[in-house]
Structure 1
Amino acid sequence: MENNTYNVKELAHKLKQGTITPAEKIWLDAWYVNFNDEEVLLSSSKHQNPEQLREGILAKITAQMETPAQATRKVVTLWSNIAAAAAAVVLITFASLYKNEVLNVVAPAKQIELTVAPGKHKQISLPDGTRIWLSPGTHISYPDKFYAKERLVKLEGEAFFDVVHDEDHPFVIQSGQLKTVVLGTSFNVKAYPDQIISEVTVVTGKVGVQEHDLPKSQQVIMERNQRAVYNRNNRLLLKEDYPNASKFLSQRTGLFNYDGAALQTVADDLSMQYDIHITLAPGIAKAGFYGHINTNETIEKTLDKLCAVMDLRWNKTGNNYNLLPLPSVN
């Protein structure tokens, strides 16, 4: 490839992927040095918005490509060699510092918005390889490229995260008033916007949870089989042991296992999974349920199985499902 056909966008991608050639690297480093970094330090008087900044930088890129510097013959001396070596070190350092900023200009990250329908589960993979299992009724927002120091995603609802370790780029989840920070681990976040209580439960690794942008923010650090419980009304953030954290490994795909859980707990789980309301007849809320429920099945099929085990019956009124004892046999 000749110098006059170099494309900054292509070279930026090659630099990120590690496929750039030495000649291309030299050209790109030189372009970095000629680039006016005052453009990066956005001034409100010079640029009114990021689009104006992007247009100005792209115009500079075009000018650089259309008028490449012409090579001239120079007498090489010992001092010029030393100066060139020192300059190369500076160029490489400069390129490393500004790589992400330039990439975000020539190939800006796009924000992806995803919402999971009630009664559905979805698994996705992020650009860094992190895997996420999204529960029904959950909304998530994340960039299609991670350029920033933090790998930031925003969550409303519930999701199980298996985060790829990256010591230099913490993984951050913003969910309402909570901010969860990890390097690489697996954990479950439950933070529906219409619920007062939010929970972060750690299955493996270590997780930090703190309030997001609030005065005198609290924070806790949790390890395996611990969880943070946050009450947004009184801003109470507590850490507690949670030996059953591994249950989220099956629940992330919609499989719920109960070992004597109160029927009210089961009903609350089903209400959240299917986006419905379940009313229990008096006297049955504390009855213990032992069994398995697959919320990937229809709510009708799920209630049929639940009632068969608990000797109950159900009916429906609008969007409300009623669980009742079986009629007495005379």
Structure 2
Amino acid sequence: MENNQYNAKELAHKLIQGTITADEKIWLDTWYAGFSDEEVLLSASRYQTPEQLRESILGRINAQITTARKPAQVIALWRNIAAAAAVVLLVTFATLYRNQALEIIDPTKQIAMSTTFGKHQQILLPDGTRIWLGPGSKISYPDKFRTRERLVKLEGEAFFDVVHDKDHPFVIQSGVLKTVVLGTSFNVKAYPRQPIAEVTVISGKVAVLEHGLPQSRQAIMVPNQQTVYDKASRSLVTREYPNASKFLSQRTGLFSYDGASLQSVADDLSLQYGVHLNLATGIAQKEFYGRINTNEPLANALNKLCAVMDLHWRKLNQGYELQPLPFNN
């Protein structure tokens, strides 16, 4: 019987619950008989010898046994729980020991990357996950994923195409907001100076959690849904978002609009180029149809927008302004 057929920790729990099969019990007994306590004792542990570790395990197990059972039942129960608890603890210690040893031999390094406004960058993570980092954004991640969570930290906007791993959730930390997934594609927009943050799902299922006092909040999303987090009110609002697929092109800087308000277009350009774009009175709700490539210089984007909308733009001391063309008789 091959060792990789079973997981020792899972079998230990099945032993406690009484659901273990005969073959699984034989494998578990063989595994435990060949396991050395000394291999998994941690240098930082309060247990200095295998005997101390064993006594601690048995002491905790003994406290769980009810005196109402008959002696023979107590002995059988005690032996089963003792073996299972020892396996669970030793497997846990073995995992910790392996990770600590690897950190000594080959330490994990934190990688930080950033983009300037008007620029996009594609990143490949150690697990095969792909990230499209938006303009004016920062991201950091380890060069090796060794912990249970695959944790990255984001400031700004990024599109994620996450490789599925049910045992190692992928977590994006953006301030107090956490986005947790197993494997999916979605967009996170969480610029530090913006009053709201947005998470939009293209495929899979995503959990968004806000951690803070006095209580935390969370939302679960499926494809074509978006959760908006308001930083001031600490509210999480989930809504239907049928046009979620637009982020597949936006992740590379290509924006398509099908009747979007001019204000919405101006907001996008402001974030992409890191500028303040002001609209003259009365034009914010005008509808725009067209495509804008934000990889081009800002002047090109403004020229195209103005040509379609019969506007002109001018540079101000603190940004840009769009105005209607003067009316000619």
TM-score (norm 1): 0.73
Query: Does the CA-based 8 Å contact 2:39-2:94 persist in structure 1?
Result: no
Q: Name the counterpart of 1:265.
A: 264
State the distance in 1 between where 2:38 and 2:98 align. 12
Range with bigger deviation, 213-222 or 289-298: 213-222
Query: Does the CA-based 8 Å contact 1:101-1:147 persist in structure 2?
Result: no
**CA-to-aligned-CA distance 1:240-294 (integer Å, 9 cap, x gap):** 1111100100000000000010101100100000001111111111100000000
**CA-to-aligned-CA distance 1:4-63 (integer Å, 9 cap, x gap):** xxxxxxxxxxxxxxxxxxxxxxxxx99994574132679xxxxxxxxxxxxxxxxxxxxx
Q: Name the counterpart of 1:78.
A: none
Q: Name the counterpart of 1:178.
A: 177
State the distance in 2 between where 1:97 and 1:250 align. 42
Q: Name the counterpart of 1:39.
A: 44
Is residue 230 of structure 2 the alignment partner of residue 225 of structure 1?
A: no
Q: Name the counterpart of 1:190.
A: 189
Residue 145 of structure 1 aligns to a residue whose secondary structure is: coil
- Going from structure 1 to structure 2, the CA distance change for 1:315 and 1:162 (only over 3 Å counts) comes to same
State the distance in 1 between where 2:122 and 2:36 align. 41
Query: Does the CA-based 8 Å contact 2:172-2:179 persist in structure 1?
Result: yes
**CA-to-aligned-CA distance 1:162-184 (integer Å, 9 cap, x gap):** 00001110000110121111000
Residue 165 of structure 1 aligns to a residue whose secondary structure is: coil
List, as ranges, runs of 4+ consecutive aligned residues in structure 1 with deviation greater than 2 Å: 29-36, 38-42, 92-101, 212-215
Is residue 329 of structure 2 the alignment partner of residue 324 of structure 1?
A: no
State the distance in 1 between where 2:313 and 2:188 align. 31
Query: Does the CA-based 8 Å contact 1:32-1:95 persist in structure 2?
Result: no
- Going from structure 1 to structure 2, the CA distance change for 1:236 and 1:41 (only over 3 Å counts) comes to farther
State the distance in 1 between where 2:260 and 2:297 align. 21
Q: Name the counterpart of 1:98.
A: 97
Spell out the pairing of 1:67-78 with structure 2 (5 A cutoff). none
Q: Gaps (5+ residues) in structure 2?
A: 1-33, 48-86
Residue 232 (structure 1) shift: 1.2
Q: Name the counterpart of 2:126.
A: 127
How many corresponding residue pairs?
A: 255
**CA-to-aligned-CA distance 1:98-126 (integer Å, 9 cap, x gap):** 32232122211111111110000000011
Query: Does the CA-based 8 Å contact 1:177-1:232 persist in structure 2?
Result: no
Q: Name the counterpart of 1:17.
A: none
State the distance in 2 between where 1:263 and 1:250 align. 20
Query: Does the CA-based 8 Å contact 2:211-2:217 persist in structure 1?
Result: no
TM-score (norm 2): 0.73
Residue 189 of structure 2 aligns to a residue whose secondary structure is: strand
Q: Name the counterpart of 2:248.
A: 249
State the distance in 1 between where 2:161 and 2:218 align. 22
- Going from structure 1 to structure 2, the CA distance change for 1:31 and 1:307 (only over 3 Å counts) comes to farther
Residue 196 (structure 1) shift: 1.3
Spell out the pairing of 1:157-176 with structure 2 (5 A cutoff). 157-176=156-175
State the distance in 1 between where 2:111 and 2:141 align. 5
Q: Gaps (5+ residues) in structure 1?
A: 1-28, 43-88
Range with bigger deviation, 31-40 or 242-251: 31-40
